[in-house]
Amino acid sequence: MRILELGNSREIENKIFGDGKKVTTAKLLDPTFNLSEFNGSYDVIVTDIMKSGMDDFGNRLADSIQSGDISTKKIVVISTAGIDQEITPKWIGTSEKERGELLLESRYFNKLIDELEIPYVILRPVKIVDGNNSEIKLSSEGTKMKTQTIGRNGLLEVINQAIFENKFDNTSIGISN
């Protein structure tokens, strides 16, 4: 399976992809990153970008896919809870203004992915915490979320299911404990 990982904002993917799977990784710490060096065909593209500029990056990724420079069978977006007002995501941004801007950019990015008409999964985790708690509560869009955290292991399980078991296709799901 050929996977293109774009982002790694939260550095959780190393545990998913670290066991010899063929992964082309772009450590996208700057959303102005040049995508052309990753032109090609992939089974899955995984994005984990929660930074200012992700909306512009989303436009460039969509353009690359629509032009055929990058092709994929599926896109998995690791976004954040709060984009559907199901919870207040106090874990992102350094101020209420920055949080609001990041949520707007994230909504826009997710909308671009949805409009590509390629199978996708949008994962909306709450704050990710260390620990072995693998309890998972999945929520549909618009459903209020009560728990502010998700254990890293629980989130990793959902990401694995989305990528390798084709669960949750064409949905946006909230993830918490």
Residue pLDDT, tens place only, 96-142: 999 899 999 999 999 999 999 899 999 999 888 887 667 889 998 88
d(CA 163, CA 166): 6
Q: Is 28 left (phi over 0), alpha (psi -120 to 50) or beta?
A: beta
* Residue 17: band (very low, low, confident or very high) from pLDDT cuts 50, 70, 90: low
For residue 159, which of 4, 12, 2, 8 has the smallest C-alpha distance?
A: 12
d(CA 49, CA 59): 13
Return the higher-pLDDT residue of 157 and 68: 68
Are the CB atoms for 150 and 126 separated by under 8 Å? yes
d(CA 140, CA 95): 27
Structural domains in the chain, sorted by start: 3-176 (3.40.50.720)
For residue 136, which of 167, 92, 93 has the smallest C-alpha distance?
A: 167
* Residue 12: band (very low, low, confident or very high) from pLDDT cuts 50, 70, 90: low
pLDDT over 90 percentage in the chain:
36
Helices (H) and strands (E) in the chain, counts: 4, 9
pLDDT (0 to 100) of residue 29: 52
User: What is the average per-residue pLDDT within 37-41?
Assistant: 89
Residue 92 in this model has a pLDDT that exceeds 90: no
* Residue 3: band (very low, low, confident or very high) from pLDDT cuts 50, 70, 90: confident
CA angle at residue 143 from 139 to 148, to 5 degrees? 70
CA angle at residue 66 from 61 to 71, to 5 degrees? 75
Q: Please give the radius of gyration of the chain, using alpha carbons only, rounded to the nearest integer.
A: 15
Residue at token pair 């704050």: 127
pTM (2 d.p.): 0.87
pLDDT (0 to 100) of residue 119: 96
List beta partners, residue 11: none
CB count, 10 Å around CB of 148? 16
Burial class (CB within 10 angstroms; exposed 0-12, middle 13-18, buried 19+) of 122: buried
